[in-house]
Amino acid sequence: MSEIAVVGVGAIGGVAAARLCAAGRDVVLCVRTRFEELRLESLEGCLSVTPPVVTSPEAVGPTEWVLLATKAHQTSGAADWLRALATPRTTIAILQNGVEHEERVRPYANGATLLPAVVDCSADPVGPGHVIQRTAAEIIVPDTAAGGAFVTLCDGAGLGVRVTADFATAAWRKLCLNVAGGAITALSDRPLGVVRRPDVADVARTLIRECIAVGRAAGARLQDELADEIVAAMIDGPDDAGTSMLTDRRRGRPLEVDARNGAVARIGARHGIATPVNTALTALLAAIHA
């Protein structure tokens, strides 16, 4: 078995793949568009690596690790890759947004161990095999045997991997950020500076408060103050700060709304919690590129 296959070499997948290659790991890149070199630009400088790049699932076999770094709504499109790469001896690290990592990937996992992850890293793909990393990476995984093995796998690669005994809270905290920033920028077609409008800031707080209520029902430990903290950070941040959903909207790509605001509405309904604003924005955002 090969050591690592990265499926989805965009922003996060590109950062992870480049740094793991530079750290001496055995990595194969599974992509739709072939490129000769993976180039990562960051504050540390430019890193160029040349791992094997394959464009067909027929060209790969089982691996010890799969890093699934597609957008959440692209998971089913990676099914052929997972069928070729995953066995019960494989661990799939799910480097995706949302709180439904395992439910989303399990139908395609071939009995592999599933390791959900929360990723915090500002990065942009600027072309096939070319990624700009703007902030340091931090990846949080559950404190399990698979989580510990992932920490060891990434040791020395500069990916900031750590374990937590309360993964649910980490995942829901990230979702609280995503339901506001991504949705508002994509719907308004403006960067995060739009949250400086008091009326837009109120919408952001409402989205987050709905997410907090649902997250608590799902077992996360979230404080009331979190909504004000997130909105204050947006207001204090750069006026032109973008989000991945804003970029996808402007490029005419499907939006990752179902795994974000849609998850709040869906899980809220399961617990009998009303989420009218997240529900409305899910419908509006889904309609943009329908």
pLDDT digits over 54-108, tens only?
A: 999 999 999 999 999 999 999 999 999 999 999 999 999 999 999 999 999 999 9
Under-50 pLDDT residues of the chain: none
Q: Which residues pair with 29 in a beta bridge?
A: 6, 53
User: What is the reported pLDDT for 289?
Assistant: 84
Write the burial class of residue 132 (CB in 10 Å: 0-12 exposed, 13-18 middle, 19+ buried): middle
- What pLDDT is stored for residue 1 in this prediction? 58
Q: Is the pTM of this model over 0.85?
A: yes
Distance CA 287, CA 290 (A): 5
What superfamily does domain 2-164 belong to in CATH?
NAD(P)-binding Rossmann-like Domain (3.40.50.720)
**Burial of 95 (C-beta count, 10 Å sphere; 0-12/13-18/19+):** buried
User: Is 174 a known active-site residue?
Assistant: yes
Local structure of residue 196 (DSSP, 8 states): G
The mean predicted confidence, pLDDT, of the chain is: 96
- CB proximity list for 273: less than 8 A, separation 6 or greater: 210, 213, 214, 217
- Distance, in Å, from the CA atom of 242 to the CA atom of 77, rounded to the nearest integer, reads 26
Architecture of the domain delimited by 167-288 = Orthogonal Bundle (1.10)
Spell out the domain ranges in the chain.
2-164, 167-288
Same fold, 2-164 and 167-288: no
Q: What is the DSSP letter of 44?
A: T
The residues near 194 (Cβ < 8 Å, ≥ 6 apart) are 184, 185, 188, 200
Catalytic hit among 174, 209, 249, 260: 174
Contact 4, 65 (CB under 8 A): yes
pLDDT at 290: 78
